[in-house]
A = this chain, B = another copy of it.
Amino acid sequence: MQLGVCYYPEHWPESQWANDARRMREIGLTRVRIGEFAWSRIEPEPGRFDWVWLDRAIETLHAAGLGVILGTPTATPPKWLVDSMPDMIAVDRDGRPRRFGSRRHYCFSHAGYRKQSARITRAVAERYGHHPAVVAWQTDNEYGCHDTVQSFSPAALAAFWVWLAERYGDVAALNRAWGNVFWSQEYRSFDEIDLPNLTVTEANPAHWLAFRRFASDEVVRFNQIQVDILRALSPGRDITHNFMGFFTEFDHHDVAQSLDAVGWDSYPLGFLESFRFSEEDRLRYARQGHPDIAAFHHDLYRGCMRGGRWWVLEQQPGPVNWARHNPAPLDGMVRLWTLEALAHGAELVSYFRWRQAPFAQEQLHAGLLRPDDAPAPAYAEAAQAAEDIAAIGPMSAAAKSVALIFSYDSDWITTIQPQGAGLSALWAAFDAYCALRQLGLNVDILPANAPLEGYAMCVVPCLPVVPDELLAHLAAFEGPVVIGPRSGSRTADFAIPDGLPPGAIFPAKVVRVESLRPGLVHPGQGWAVRRWIEHLETDAAAELVADDGTVACWRSGNRRYLAAWPEPDILAPVLQSAAREAGVDTVALPEGLRLRRTASHVFAFNYAPTPVAIPDGIGGRLVLGEKLIPPAGIAVLTL
């Protein structure tokens, strides 16, 4: 695995560049990511390009032996460009144009901006496409950040009509598919259809789903234009994009198809504040991040593309500036996060950023260096990580164990119609992932159409639309399969399927669903049904039954159907017995400890605020760390 850093030469005097590059190499960094916000410096005025500074910057980095990951600057079009076509701005859900003055101020559907995006991409690629320093390209930056996937603009509306016409052929088919007879919502032509925002009460969920699919496809299309240009003009370089954490607004599997390696930006402490963790977890893990945040995304993004190449393009190096509260990580966490990425198979971890900027929006975002150029705490940790990686040496890949299925449209469907406040497929997937990890298991998070050969067991936490491909794969799959609630509950156009859910994935009919307010529970032995319960008509066996007779889990052959919300406590017994059947060893890990096994090594990471011992029975010989792992500590064993 290589280490890198995000660097903004345009922020610093040229006189610092060579020294910066030298120090990067000194601590073991070999990659440097640059350029993704530099449009106003590359093209200060319409058509006038200034390549001089960037030529010199790249040359300086190159001279130091660093490989450059070059970003297209399309996330930050300059003001002169916006002023030349003000309607390129996205419009928010309330109908307000989203003004210049920060970043991502564009509508994915705006034809003019697509052309501009292609033009600047081509210009940069023509200049540097064959530069020996350039080892990879990043398209744009964090598609969708700041809620920018959905735009409610005239450009989006016009493009939506075209998209609808392509999908449905004629409007009668659309009316049927959406059930528009309900509330007289029928249309006579595609261009009668509005965007689904600002309706009197909720719009038809099929309308929302179509719009979200369309919005996702627009990201795919926008990205593809850049990819095509970069492939043509810069052969042999990897193309990547930096996805975000707990972010599902567009279909990452679709965008990933065009990439050579999937990137993501890892901010464990910031995500702890923003995703739906309990206040207890937020306090317990305030300086570490919840132990499954980084790993969940590693395993998700590794599964995004065939081949599984993936990078961490931004790694939190200290306090950030954008969460509600921004504490510093425990000493050692930056190293831990880096080695955890290694354990999960990353090819690259790139710290964000080299030097803390003393100005503008992110001036309280830590870097490896302080604004005064002295090392920040992460500097030494990055250097230590580089040494550790060298010490660990060559590793075999991980064997296949548990496949966990997640699809982006499952999250769209559940958030469009949660039925119980806040519930979502992402939440279900994350909870199922935590439960698996607490048993010490390796997990691959896969799209719904992924092949399942070689896996010992398969978990489908919440998959409203079950594709035929998955049914075929499951038909051939002999290991235990655990299916969660709402799976198979919707057609592709957001209707309840004929014959009732869950359809062919499990031999039952879900005849009633209930969402349960906090406190309204059906207790079992050491677990409870909470938040959600489904009532089934089925010949399957009741495998997990609450004290009042409520069936939480049903079983038929090698398949189990979880009728309750898949929280860790209820999943624990179900997954444990499934793993037993699958012949997969589990271990009850102490709180905060997490494992990752490759064919050659076992990694143990301690996220707890107190020392934790590796449980007996984890085989291997210690090559890094001790059996009693301190907080933020790591141990590595060879098998």
* B328 touching A207, Cβ below 8 Å: no
Instruction: Decide yes or no: A178 and B77 within 8 Å by CB, A99-B199, A199-B105, A512-B319 being known contacts.
Output: no
Residue of B nearest to A359 (CB): B179
* B516 touching A360, Cβ below 8 Å: no
Interface-facing stretch out of A237-245, A427-435, A496-504: A496-504
Q: Give the complex CA separation of A73 and B271 in angstroms.
A: 48
Minimum distance in angstroms from A262 CB to a CB of chain B? 24
**Is A566 interfacial (CB-CB < 8 Å)?**
no
Instruction: Decide yes or no: A148 and B200 within 8 Å by CB, A78-B186, A419-B364 being known contacts.
Output: yes
Instruction: Decide yes or no: A517 and B324 within 8 Å by CB, A182-B360, A184-B78, A371-B500 being known contacts.
Output: yes
* A101 touching B496, Cβ below 8 Å: no
Instruction: Decide yes or no: A283 and B519 within 8 Å by CB, A184-B40, A358-B495, A495-B359 being known contacts.
Output: yes
* A192 touching B359, Cβ below 8 Å: no
Q: Give the complex CA separation of A97 and B186 in angstroms.
A: 20
Minimum distance in angstroms from A198 CB to a CB of chain B? 4
**Is A14 interfacial (CB-CB < 8 Å)?**
no
Chain B contacts for A417, CB-based, 8 A: 321, 363-364
Minimum distance in angstroms from A100 CB to a CB of chain B? 6
Residue of B nearest to A318 (CB): B512
* A421 touching B325, Cβ below 8 Å: yes
Minimum distance in angstroms from A421 CB to a CB of chain B? 5
- CB 8 Å contact bits of A73-97 with B (1 = contact, 0 = none): 1001111100100000010001111
* A40 touching B192, Cβ below 8 Å: no
**Is A31 interfacial (CB-CB < 8 Å)?**
no
Chain B contacts for A372, CB-based, 8 A: 498-500, 509
Residue of B nearest to A188 (CB): B80
Q: Give the complex CA separation of A145 and B202 in angstroms.
A: 12
- CB 8 Å contact bits of A300-327 with B (1 = contact, 0 = none): 0000000000000000001101001111
* B40 touching A194, Cβ below 8 Å: no
Residue of B nearest to A180 (CB): B360
**Is A10 interfacial (CB-CB < 8 Å)?**
yes
Chain B contacts for A96, CB-based, 8 A: 94-95, 198
**Is A102 interfacial (CB-CB < 8 Å)?**
yes
**Is A197 interfacial (CB-CB < 8 Å)?**
yes
Chain B contacts for A184, CB-based, 8 A: 37-41, 73, 76-78, 103
* B362 touching A182, Cβ below 8 Å: yes
Minimum distance in angstroms from A278 CB to a CB of chain B? 12
Chain B contacts for A360, CB-based, 8 A: 178-180, 182-183, 185, 204-206
Minimum distance in angstroms from A602 CB to a CB of chain B? 32
Chain B contacts for A494, CB-based, 8 A: 359
Minimum distance in angstroms from A465 CB to a CB of chain B? 14
Q: Which of A169-225 contact B (CB under 8 A)?
A: 178-188, 192, 194, 196-207
**Is A374 interfacial (CB-CB < 8 Å)?**
yes
**Is A511 interfacial (CB-CB < 8 Å)?**
yes
**Is A377 interfacial (CB-CB < 8 Å)?**
yes
* B98 touching A200, Cβ below 8 Å: yes
Q: Give the complex CA separation of A200 and B102 in angstroms.
A: 6
* A327 touching B182, Cβ below 8 Å: no
> Which of B100, B327, B361, B500 is close to A520, meaning CB atoms less than 8 Å apart?
B327
* B101 touching A204, Cβ below 8 Å: yes
* B183 touching A76, Cβ below 8 Å: yes
**Is A515 interfacial (CB-CB < 8 Å)?**
yes
* A102 touching B202, Cβ below 8 Å: yes
* B199 touching A101, Cβ below 8 Å: yes
Chain B contacts for A376, CB-based, 8 A: 511-512
> Which of B102, B279, B327 is close to A201, meaning CB atoms less than 8 Å apart?
B102
Instruction: Decide yes or no: A520 and B286 within 8 Å by CB, A186-B40, A509-B372 being known contacts.
Output: yes
Minimum distance in angstroms from A330 CB to a CB of chain B? 12
Chain B contacts for A473, CB-based, 8 A: none
Minimum distance in angstroms from A101 CB to a CB of chain B? 4
* B198 touching A11, Cβ below 8 Å: no
Chain B contacts for A183, CB-based, 8 A: 37, 76, 102-103, 360-361
A-B contact pairs, 7 of them (CB 8 A): A41-B186, A99-B200, A102-B201, A179-B359, A183-B360, A328-B514, A364-B513
- Name the 6 nearest CB pairs between A and B, nearest first: A179-B359, A182-B360, A40-B184, A358-B496, A101-B199, A76-B184
Residues of A within 8 A of B (CB): 8, 10-11, 37-41, 44-45, 73, 76-80, 83, 90, 94-105, 145-146, 148, 178-188, 192, 194, 196-207, 273, 279, 282-283, 286-287, 318-319, 321, 324-328, 356-364, 366, 370-372, 374, 376-377, 417, 419-421, 494-500, 509, 511-517, 519-520, 535
Given contacts A90-B200, A324-B420, 5 further A-B contacts (CB under 8 A): A101-B185, A104-B200, A182-B360, A283-B517, A377-B512
